[in-house]
Amino acid sequence: MARLHLFDLDGTLLRGTTSPVEISRQLGLEAEAVALDEAISAGLIGPPEYAAEVYALWAHLTEAHVTAAFEGAPWLERIREVWAEIREQGEYCAVVSLSPSFFVERLIGWGAHAAFGSRFPAVPFSEPVDPAGVLSAAAKVEIADRLCAEFGVTRADCIAYGDSLSDRDLFGAVPVSVAVNADRHLAGLATHSYMGGDLWDAYELVRRTR
């Protein structure tokens, strides 16, 4: 039976940072984005409020800024190699993140079968962000179920990789999970735990299990 590997982005594929911070750095607004990350991590604001705040920060955002943020971000090593291996095994890989879709969807080019993020308008912004399109922890489970139906697998065939509070629901919904450089919110929830900078090493924890 094929498996579906579900990857978080911020703090998981990106080590020690988030895509909003990397995007905001291009605008000289890194400190403001870090403060927002701390607020949502502490539960002081929710995903819709967070999205509205980063949208306001990015009033002058261009496609060039997004490209520079993506190319300069501190990605884990061997992401593309892991996804190539998953494809060669006849399995599936997807990224599901609360971060903006215009950043997350770039990972399709690295080999992900699917990539989902919170829906933001096209850059540069000419319309507001729609709160209804902002993802939540619960939405990650809903998307996983849709992907299972698309790929002909079940939750029992899923492996989740994540690092924080936004991954708790998904970790609780699937049988196998890998905490990658995780914070306290995933303590005791993951099947496996990995600390380091190479996705292949995290993938090895589940690579040979079927």
Q: Kindly report whether the peptide bond that precedes residue 131 is cis, defined as omega within 30 degrees of 0.
A: no
C-beta of residue 17 within 8 angstroms of C-beta of residue 10: yes
CA distance 79 to 64: 23
- The tokens describing 34, both together, are 């870090």
Residue 43's pLDDT is what? 86
Instruction: State whether residue 75 is helix, strand or coil.
Output: strand
* 11-20 tens-digit pLDDT: 999 999 999 9
CA distance 94 to 51: 22
Residue 86's pLDDT is what? 98
Helix axes 199-207, 79-88, angle to 10 degrees: 30
* 166-210 tens-digit pLDDT: 899 999 999 999 999 998 878 788 999 999 999 999 999 999 776
Helix axes 47-57, 30-41, angle to 10 degrees: 180
CA distance 111 to 120: 22
* 50-70 tens-digit pLDDT: 999 999 999 999 999 999 999
CA distance 144 to 86: 17
3-state helix, strand, coil in the chain (%, to 5): 50, 15, 30
Q: Report the predicted TM-score, pTM, of the whole model to 2 decimal places.
A: 0.96
